[in-house]
Structure 1
Amino acid sequence: MTGEMEHDEPILLWSSRVAVATPAPSRIVIEGSESDGRFVPHAVRIPDDGPAQTMKVPLPVGENLLDRLHARPFGSEERVEAERSQDGLVIRCGEGTAPAGVVLETGSFHFPRAAHLRLVVAGLGSGEQFGLSLVERGGDAPSPPQVLLDAKGGSLKLPPSRPTDVPPSRQFVISCPSGQASLRLKSVALEPGLPSRQISNTGTWLWRADAWLQRPAKVEQWAVASQLDRTFLQLKIDKGEVAHSTALAEFVTRLDRRGISAHAVEGDPAMATADGLGHALRRVAAIRRYQIASPPRARLAGLQFDIESYLLSDFALDPTAIWAQWAETIQALSSAWGEPVSVVVPFWMLDSEAGAAAMAAVRPVISNLTVMAYRTEIGQVTALSEPWLAWGTLNGVPVSVALENGPLGAEVHRTFLRAETGSLLLSMAGRRATVSLFSHPAVARQDALAYAFHHETRVNPARISFMNNRDKLAVARAKLARLLVAWPSFDGLMIHALDETHRGFGGPRILLPEARANEPQASDSDLRRRPAAD
């Protein structure tokens, strides 16, 4: 369907139930895919009609920032010129005695919180030496400058900002010398300030128990070759006990001899409901009995919960209540386990007060966390991870950063707007509604609002997943391991569907729902908006 067609009797093509926070939303988004040139709906999403929040995002680490910084000359003698060129920024200074130079303003970006960083400037200078300083926004550049640049640039160690909720407001200053000089800046980048610290930890999830049950030696070899130091196993529970407990003990022992820890992983959105929690507690009790009965080397190293409660149909009605239920669930499961547990979280969770409150509530009962920063651009991964790495540093919680490597289909999002006639009808029943997609326009009725097709957006899966591109993933692993050590809380990488050629080893549990849960549906310049925002 690429437009509105006119027929007497529209044919129902698809319908779905959805929670609606407002009685008459202005927009409805149908998410689906394309098959043989035909749009195939999968899910419906109703964006918030409220004003979009303008949020500053952190500067990426390890990237040239020149294009993100606004150059503003200053000085009472007006002896400074700053000109953009194809290969950077050219600064020319005339002779003078009053302070002068160029302020590199961060604009809509903020400095990464709680990170140990250094500012690395590369360029080519002539004449006397320029100075480089970091100042609070609106502050004066120090004299003398904090560091002098040589003919090829230099670096400045930055004091780590406190990991608070308020991003630091800082800017760079390039100071002119008193004599005539010029500087051609080629790059300005934030690099880790702790080069001696190395974290190469990498883990993955093994969602299919049959793989390690039937081929334990092969899975062991694969884990070693993949340079893993941890694995997370989904276990089979049969009649209230861990199934194949002997085989599990042997496999855990195999990995332990290789220096690879084995953890159990549990996860279902329904665990955040009353019925689901009861089922989860019974599974935890079974795993706990396995732990007690096993010799030390056969015991699991921990228990992780990947409870994506935001996929529940009621989430849109009351996110605050759902996040509170999630927190209560984690607390109850940790209590049943008898020690802190690990949790998996979406990158956007801390953007809401309810999500932040839920994390504060579970802080005493979690041992570590994994944030799903599912992007393939290194700068985006560091930006999405920054709030969590800062939170982990503040709260003393180790943080792993997860990447996606599994297959994802190209998603198509079709947006419909309120109209007198349209091929989409919304029928309300309290705070729930039925969305019906028709073959061509229908007229709005007393019991149904009409929505007309407005535009289509295609989500490129290569932005989210490495799609088993081994070379690209290897480069990303190496870069992120080098960059993310800037945060003391960084505890390594997790890779979902690490090796798609070994289906059944690390293959993905689910495809489209997980992609939607971690896709902010926003432009790259607004990475931290929640999925509910269009």
Structure 2
Amino acid sequence: MTSATSADNTFVTIALCPDEDVTGGDAGQRYYAADGSRQFLTVSADADLPASCTTALLQTGGTVLWSAPAAPMPAEDSIEQVGLLGDFTGETMSVSDVLVIPAAAPAVETEFDVDVDIRMPRVADQPPLPLNESVLPQFVSRTFGVDERVTASGPGQLRCSPGDNIAGALLASERSWAVGTGLQLEVRARGEGRFQVAIGDMQRDRLQAPLPVGELLLPASGADNYRFSLPDNRLPWTSVTIICPEEQGELELLSLTISTAPGRQQREQLDMPALLPPRRGAWLWSPQLWQESPEIVWQAQWQQQLTEVYISIPVNEAGQVADRDSLTRFLAEAHDRDLQVRVVIGDPRDVLPASLPALEARILAFLRYNREAAQSAQLSGVQLDIEPYLLRGFGRAQPYWRERYLSVIRHIHSMLDGQLSLDLVVPAWWGAHPAWGEQLLSQLPVDNLRLSIMNYHTAAERLRANAAPFLAWGKRVSVPVVIGLESGFLPDETHRRYRHHPQQGELWLVPVGAESVFVLFDTPQSGLPGRAFTFAFDYLVPAEDYTFAGDVARLNTVAEALSREWQSSPAFAGIAIHGLDDTRVKTGNQ
């Protein structure tokens, strides 16, 4: 059907077409339908379309700013709100995510709505807390935890229910602690259970990343004293965090004393073996780095104490590793420097059957290289960074793409056959998503497997929550899990919220045959088929919530604190940093 224009109104045609019936010059967007077939969406006032297209004709008085096929929904008339996340500042807007909220939903927490409210009292310009006497009355206690499994019956009194999520109490003082060498924190407490103790300064408090210093093992047989050394720190300590055990526990703090007296933790049965520093990796994407400037890699290794890197390695048309000599020299020197190297490959289209031969060719090239190379110049593994959620239309058929993803992973795992280990890079949101989560993890081959989680947030509480399902699964099936942090450039985005209106709105969900399409206009429209949503509010989603953006000092503060916590899990295999090689960010303190 062809759209037409009159003097008073504009007629716009929305068309959904089989991709193979549309010529390359047609304006629109290609996406994948729920069955994996290629489709084409166009919104035009002047379009000569094939008869195979399904269309809807709209009579409007405005300009279409954006359109996208909607994911299948159980009842479109139940949708109360729609959120668009993206950049709305330029001439061409960009929408990166769509959030649909049903009318029956309670207050929905989304990736962008959650605000962990553990704000700290400001450290006032007052003298520090006194030494060698209890300062417990100087602290304000606040409980925290996402599942409300901790309650406080009084100052310094905690009751913890069983649970896997982090929960506990934060004790903060408006006065800083005394600064000096050899100071200790003495805790007198009674109760029952194994509680972790951590301390924070102003920066750690803001990042919700306290430094663990020890444990309280309360025997339910009276009060005991515990002493913890306070490490030297460039900022004065300001807070104590008490973390609940996974089992039920009770605790009552009787005193907190900052002490100069020598001593050691009273209960020697709490002594733990020294933990080795966690492994640390980094993505260094450009082949030019190892081909032409390997000294940059060695510098990054020294600055970040890297134990492994993930690099791109070109494969030529003959199915051989390109620039083999340079690769051999680089891997040999990396071996001498105790730096492991994994090759990282992957593309969203690798889940498509048509892309499998090219992926197989790359895997065969790396297997062939390792068989022919000396042991000191071999790759340590293959990392698959396939991101099917970047395919247009992914949200319309997530179970389909999950099965395609699993099929590819099983096939590549079989090809590697233990000759090279397989590392899968997966997004953090898969861990708790109903279409992914256990439905994905339970079907992965676990031999010679590792997971690297793109846990791209900066708040410690969010990082903990995102890592939890993967670490629990890794512990259960003995698969190591690496936690990835982002340090590269990301743009700020805006979240626009639209609410259902019975008559008009800028955003419409329009039926097109058996499917639906979101259409956003520059002005409110009325009388269109479908469901209308009118603009309600917007807010900034700052990139600093997701990336450390070159602030390596801040990243290290968070990584150090969380690594100490995660090392209690046998699945935790270290930290990986994404974006160290991003030239768009200004690197902070190394």
The normalised TM-score by structure 2 is 0.63
**What is the CA distance between 1:42 and its match in structure 2?**
2.7
Q: Is the 8 A contact 1:201 1:229 kept in 2?
A: yes
Are 1:26 and 2:80 matched, yes or no? yes
Q: Is the 8 A contact 1:16 1:43 kept in 2?
A: no
Map 1:470-485 onto structure 2 (within 5 A): 470-485=552-567
Distance in 2 (CA, whole Å) between partners of 1:399 and 1:22 is: 36
Runs of 5+ in structure 1 lacking a partner? 1-6, 56-62, 68-83, 91-99, 124-128, 136-141, 162-167, 176-181, 187-191, 506-534
Which of 451, 458, 461 matches 2:543?
A: 461
Distance in 2 (CA, whole Å) between partners of 1:214 and 1:22 is: 54
Map 1:264-283 onto structure 2 (within 5 A): 264-283=343-362
**What is the CA distance between 1:198 and its match in structure 2?**
2.2
Distance 1:16 1:121, change over 3 A: closer
Which of 206, 220, 228 matches 2:284?
A: 206
Q: Is the 8 A contact 2:85 2:97 kept in 1?
A: yes
Are 1:384 and 2:427 matched, yes or no? no
Are 1:145 and 2:204 matched, yes or no? no
Q: Is the 8 A contact 1:19 1:313 kept in 2?
A: no
Distance in 2 (CA, whole Å) between partners of 1:443 and 1:498 is: 49
SS in 1 for 2:86: strand
Q: Is the 8 A contact 2:192 2:219 kept in 1?
A: no
Distance in 2 (CA, whole Å) between partners of 1:458 and 1:279 is: 41
Are 1:331 and 2:410 matched, yes or no? yes
Return the letter of the residue paired with 2:85: E
Return the letter of the residue paired with 1:249: T
Distance in 1 (CA, whole Å) between partners of 2:504 and 2:582 is: 46
Map 1:479-494 onto structure 2 (within 5 A): 479-494=561-576
Distance in 2 (CA, whole Å) between partners of 1:492 and 1:241 is: 32
Return the letter of the residue paired with 1:148: A
Are 1:310 and 2:386 matched, yes or no? no
**What is the CA distance between 1:307 and its match in structure 2?**
1.7
Match of 1:405 in 2: 487
Map 1:348-363 onto structure 2 (within 5 A): 348-355=429-436, 356-363=438-445
Return the letter of the residue paired with 1:42: V
**What is the CA distance between 1:250 and its match in structure 2?**
1.5
Query: What CA deviation, in whole Å up to 9, does each residue of 1:451-476 have, x standing for no partner?
Result: 21122132121121111012212322
Match of 1:132 in 2: 191
Query: What CA deviation, in whole Å up to 9, does each residue of 1:38-90 have, x standing for no partner?
Result: 893333514253746999xxxxxxx99999xxxxxxxxxxxxxxxx9772259
Return the letter of the residue paired with 1:343: L
Map 1:366-445 onto structure 2 (within 5 A): 366-419=448-501, 420-429=503-512, 432-445=515-528
Distance 1:343 1:451, change over 3 A: same
**What is the CA distance between 1:440 and its match in structure 2?**
0.4
Distance 1:14 1:414, change over 3 A: same
Map 1:158-307 onto structure 2 (within 5 A): 170-174=248-252, 194=272, 196-239=274-317, 240-307=319-386
Distance in 2 (CA, whole Å) between partners of 1:199 and 1:431 is: 56
Q: Is the 8 A contact 2:81 2:498 kept in 1?
A: yes
Distance in 2 (CA, whole Å) between partners of 1:122 and 1:153 is: 17
Runs of 5+ in structure 2 lacking a partner? 1-9, 11-59, 110-116, 122-135, 143-153, 174-187, 195-216, 230-239, 259-269
Distance 1:472 1:43, change over 3 A: closer
Match of 1:178 in 2: none
SS in 2 for 1:236: coil
Return the letter of the residue paired with 1:308: E
Return the letter of the residue paired with 1:436: V
Are 1:87 and 2:87 matched, yes or no? no
Comparing 484-493 with 256-265, greater Cα deviation is found at 484-493
Distance in 2 (CA, whole Å) between partners of 1:48 and 1:430 is: 23
Q: Is the 8 A contact 2:492 2:542 kept in 1?
A: yes
Q: Is the 8 A contact 1:236 1:242 kept in 2?
A: yes
Distance in 1 (CA, whole Å) between partners of 2:66 and 2:396 is: 23
Q: Is the 8 A contact 2:82 2:101 kept in 1?
A: no
Q: CA RMSD in A?
A: 4.3
Distance in 1 (CA, whole Å) between partners of 2:407 and 2:107 is: 28
**What is the CA distance between 1:271 and its match in structure 2?**
1.8
SS in 2 for 1:457: strand
**What is the CA distance between 1:414 and its match in structure 2?**
1.0
Return the letter of the residue paired with 1:478: E
**What is the CA distance between 1:30 and its match in structure 2?**
2.1
Distance in 2 (CA, whole Å) between partners of 1:226 and 1:394 is: 30
Distance in 1 (CA, whole Å) between partners of 2:280 and 2:341 is: 12
Distance in 1 (CA, whole Å) between partners of 2:563 and 2:311 is: 24
Distance 1:489 1:22, change over 3 A: same
SS in 1 for 2:328: helix
**What is the CA distance between 1:122 and its match in structure 2?**
11
SS in 2 for 1:243: coil
**What is the CA distance between 1:258 and its match in structure 2?**
0.4
Comparing 143-152 with 485-494, greater Cα deviation is found at 143-152
Comparing 299-308 with 413-422, greater Cα deviation is found at 413-422
Distance in 1 (CA, whole Å) between partners of 2:101 and 2:496 is: 16
The percentage of aligned residue pairs carrying the same residue is: 22
Distance 1:195 1:404, change over 3 A: farther
**What is the CA distance between 1:219 and its match in structure 2?**
2.6
**What is the CA distance between 1:153 and its match in structure 2?**
9.9
Q: Is the 8 A contact 2:311 2:341 kept in 1?
A: yes
